[in-house]
Amino acid sequence: MTLVIMAAGMGSRYGGLKQIDPVTPHGEFIVDFSIYDAKRAGIDKVVFIIKRENYDIFRETVGSRIEGSVEVKYVFQDMDALPAGRSVPEGRVKPWGTGHAILCCKDVVKENFIVVNADDFYGADAYARLADFLKDVRAGGDKAHFAMVGYVLENTITENGSVARGVCEIENGLLTQVTECTKIQENDGVVQYLEDGKWYDLDRRSTVSMNFWGFTPEIFDMLEKDFDKFLDDVDTGKADKLKGEFFLPFVVARAIKENKCDARVLETNAKWYGVTYHDDKPVLEAFIKDSVAKGDYPDGLWK
């Protein structure tokens, strides 16, 4: 079983390359905790999706210290990694998005796999739940069976600004729809989101997606077909040729609608941490320090 880590993005609001910003006295990064939690849940291979120019720094830091514990692969999300006959629009510098990032892994991932963001702390419980699902699911049959970990909204917000979250609709444990809400924050004890200049209340116990997915390799054929359609839209002007992005959740949503897959929602009460804003980092560091004191993690993950 494989852990695929999307690490090609830069943190525009936070500033700098968040994925390699230490959060412990030992110089460990958020991604170290993801790998540690995934490893004890049963993964034995890690695939980093990175920018080609960041290879050396990833290899010298995270990669070098985990290579003795798990198999490590690197995949480059290059702008020109496109289907035959396609070319990058003139003037485009923005990456193609999360769907394209996962598609870049097709040649190195042949088994069931977990997808995470490199700069998100998901918690051990979430990895255990998703790994247990993937151990049993098999490709083939009438439709594919995927899964996502669903978080409680109030466990994912920050005191330091607004966030964007995908609010999930669930029926019989399966995902039916995700509604993207931007600018979510807590105002006077009420969780709200801003739309068209007006604040709307949200149930703080809502289930939200944090881009934490479990797939069989069947996802790659879906990605290929939908990416081709997306590039058609770019060519015809239906999608922004300079900034339009091909998002992984949209591919899953389309497949669900067309009855090509289902997505089991594995709900967790784990606290999610990220470093969306600079002031989020001390909160995460304090949580990790407390977790080490409780014995949830060793004092030095790779000793």
Answer whether residue 35 is part of any domain.
Answer: yes
Quote the percentage of the chain above a pLDDT of 70: 96
DSSP codes of every residue in 34-75: HHHHHHHHT--EEEEEE-GGGHHHHIIIIIHHHTTTSEEEEE
pLDDT at 291 over 70: yes
Residue 8 confidence (pLDDT): 79
Q: Residue 141 carries which DSSP code?
A: S
pLDDT at 14 over 60: no
CATH of the domain at 119: 3.90.550.10
CA-to-CA distance for 207 and 43, rounded, in angstroms?
Answer: 26
Residue 12 confidence (pLDDT): 40
Answer whether residue 86 is part of any domain.
Answer: yes
CA-to-CA distance for 54 and 118, rounded, in angstroms?
Answer: 14
Residue 58 confidence (pLDDT): 82
Q: How confident is the model at residue 19 (pLDDT cuts 50, 70, 90)?
A: low
Answer whether residue 60 is part of any domain.
Answer: yes
Residue 34 confidence (pLDDT): 93
Answer whether residue 163 is part of any domain.
Answer: no
Answer whether residue 7 is part of any domain.
Answer: yes
Q: How confident is the model at residue 259 (pLDDT cuts 50, 70, 90)?
A: very high
Residue 288 confidence (pLDDT): 94
Answer whether residue 50 is part of any domain.
Answer: yes
Answer whether residue 277 is part of any domain.
Answer: yes
Residue 45 confidence (pLDDT): 95
Answer whether residue 129 is part of any domain.
Answer: yes
User: Helix (H) and strand (E) counts for the chain?
Assistant: 8, 13
Domain that holds residue 25: 2-144+209-254+271-294
CA-to-CA distance for 238 and 202, rounded, in angstroms?
Answer: 32
Taking only the tens place, the pLDDT of each residue in 105-162 is 999 999 999 999 988 999 999 999 999 999 988 877 789 999 999 999 999 988 888 8
Taking only the tens place, the pLDDT of each residue in 184-225 is 988 988 998 888 889 999 999 999 999 899 999 999 999 999
Please give the tally of structural domains in the chain.
1
Section 231-239 average pLDDT: 90
Q: How confident is the model at residue 10 (pLDDT cuts 50, 70, 90)?
A: very low
Model-level pTM? Answer: 0.90
pLDDT at 17 over 70: no
